[in-house]
Amino acid sequence: MVSMLKTAKAFAPGNISCIFVIKKGNNPKKSGSLGVGFTVNKGVFVTIKKINKSNKKNIIFFNNKKINFPTVDSVIRKLTDKKVKVSIKSQLPLGCGFGISGASAIAAAYALNKLLNLKKSKKELAFIAHIAEIENLTGLGDVTNQYYGGFLIKHKPSYTFEVKKPNIKNKAIYCRHFSSINTKKILSNKKIKNKINQAGLKSLKKIKNLDKKIMNLKNLIRISKEFSIESRLLKNKKVIETIRNIEKNKGNASMIMLGNSIFSDVPFKGSRKLIIKDKGAFTI
């Protein structure tokens, strides 16, 4: 049955990654990450519209600005030969560790599925978005989190879509972004990768050994900070200084992966309040 819809819309939450371990091989279908992260109450709204058959390329807008977005374009090409216009309205910045590339990819997959009546399951669509992220080196595990929603721990690679959910929800989190980090550079540097994986596995082991009673936000932030130091990803002076000031005021803070950004359990100068939300991507 041909879909009569002219436009379709979907939402996907932003995802904050705290700890990660790179599990990347030659096969994108068997690549991803282990780690810890959570989705928030802000994210992206993606609207997809059919366009004239004479168009040879998909048209993608991000917050009203036409951009080249290979991850989203890749999702579309994996699902259809038809050309479409994609409008992404994001409540969070791109390239700052909020998983906006993954959110845009999964929301685009959901909207396109609805628009063209492709009859694919949400999990199939999430997997397609995950592969597009891996192939374009824009992320490793965000899409899995955005599919489920909530605070998630992955002891198995993200491509398996197997997660554990500690009981941490509807908690306020405070974030501030200073500058971007090139994810592509990190994911393709063997030396950096080894350091990250060593620190990440150590952190996941600590989490596995935590008693359920102390599996709380405070302790997970503390382990995340240890990871950011041991992986040598925490290098930005402003980020280091801000974390230090938060801790002086009896708060807990760490670096958002991957961006020169901070998340904390207390408000701090220049921060923005977000809520840890247990809701994954959905069509509107």
Q: Which residue has the tokens 């974390």?
A: 243
Sketch out the chain's domains with CATH numbers. Answer: 1-284 (3.30.230.120)
* 3-class SS letters over 25-91: CCCHHHCEEEEEEEEEEEEEEEEEEECCCCCCCCEEEECCEECCCHHHHHHHHHHCCCCEEEEEEEC
Interatomic CA distance for residues 281 and 103, integer angstroms: 8
Interatomic CA distance for residues 205 and 74, integer angstroms: 35
Query: Mean pLDDT across the stretch 105-134?
Result: 97
Q: Which of 120-124, 138-142, 248-252 has the lowest mean pLDDT?
A: 138-142
3-state secondary structure of 155: coil
Using the predicted structure, report yes or no on whether residue 2 has a pLDDT greater than 70.
no
User: pLDDT digit string (tens) for 46-80?
Assistant: 999 999 877 889 999 999 999 999 999 999 999 99
In the chain, what percentage of residues exceed pLDDT 70? 99
Q: Which pLDDT score, from 0 to 100, does residue 258 have?
A: 85
